Amino acid sequence: MCGLSLLFLNCVEKRTQATTNRETPIAAELLTMVDEEQRLRYNDTLDWSVVAAADLRHRQRVFELLAQGAISEPENLYRAALVLQHADPSSCRECYRLAYYLALEAVNKGFEEARNLAATCLDRSLVYSGQPQKYGTQFYQDSVGRWYLFDIDSLTTDSERVLWQVPRFDSILVRLEKMNQNQP
């Protein structure tokens, strides 16, 4: 079992009920990380070196919190997964699998908003492990700007996609077509 999976299992086993006072700062800290990552990615002066540095700093902090067993509330698990799913595949492919486990745990604890993130993280983990994605959430762009879907497991049904808040396959294809409308 990979190191990050062991970290996840360790944090689940060591987790204790935290007081509201202890979780409030953690929730705020995780929300601040998520907000910063979004702000850095969606502005007019996108600088990937700044984004990568923030992602690394946030990822390391999430690992610390997980090791302490400090992330247990469903919404905090979701936010931690949001942070980890931004990892660069060259530096932390295992982060996608850990993000999947965290989002799945959030779903299991009743946080339905984490369903799509769990599906996305599983797909990302599979793609960067050289396997077909399950749901169809992962795209790539070639050198001339044309978009494609990574290979998809043909056994996945639209009912599974809907359960995990992923569009049906025909809608994914429509999205892909729209992405390529202004491409060569």
Digit-coded pLDDT (tens) for 122-180: 999 999 999 999 999 999 999 999 999 999 999 999 999 999 999 999 999 999 999 99
More confidently predicted of 14 and 145: 145
- Residue 110 tokens read as 């009743």
Choose among 138, 115, 4: nearest CA to 63: 4
More confident call, 18 vs 96: 96
Q: What is the pLDDT of residue 38?
A: 86
In this predicted structure, the answer to whether residue 22 has a pLDDT above a threshold of 50 is: no
Tokens 């070639």, located at residue: 142
The identity of residue 82, as a single letter, is L
Q: Strand, helix or coil at 65?
A: helix
| 144 or 14, higher pLDDT | 144
CA–CA distance, 142 with 140 (Å, rounded to integer): 7
Answer whether residue 110 shows pLDDT above 70: yes
Residues 6+ apart with CB under 8 A from 17: 72
pTM of the model: 0.83
The 10s digit of each residue's pLDDT in 25-84 is 999 999 999 988 888 888 778 888 888 888 899 999 999 999 999 999 999 999 999 999
